[in-house]
Amino acid sequence: MWDVETTDTFDAWFELQSRDLKEDMLATMLILSEFAPQLGRPYVDTVKDSTFQNMKELRVQHHGLPIRAFLHLILCGKLSFYVQAIRMA
């Protein structure tokens, strides 16, 4: 199992979300912690043209809306979320 670490920015965003969205996000993060870095679509995809190596996006479907959170893989079996979660309609 992989460690999933979040940033203060992600945590602040997460705390403002509805209970339903928190549950959807946590469920997807649990799947991520079990299968990363092998996890691919529809849960994770590579961010193209990123200046950061191994930049990925976690894709969460919530009531028909895609929710995205950026992440990257780092050594020692950890995943790091950073920048901020982005809601895209």
Domains of the chain, residue spans: 3-87
* pLDDT at 83 (0 to 100): 40
* pLDDT at 26 (0 to 100): 94
Alpha carbons within 13 angstroms on the beta-carbon side of residue 12 total 6
* pLDDT at 78 (0 to 100): 52
* pLDDT at 72 (0 to 100): 74
* pLDDT at 12 (0 to 100): 93
* pLDDT at 27 (0 to 100): 94
Token pair listed for 30:
């649990």
Q: Could you tell me the fold of the domain covering 3-87?
A: YaeB-like fold (3.30.2310)
What is the dihedral sign for C-alpha 25, 27, 33, 38? negative
Give every residue of the chain whose pLDDT is below 70, as ranges. 74-89
* pLDDT at 84 (0 to 100): 39
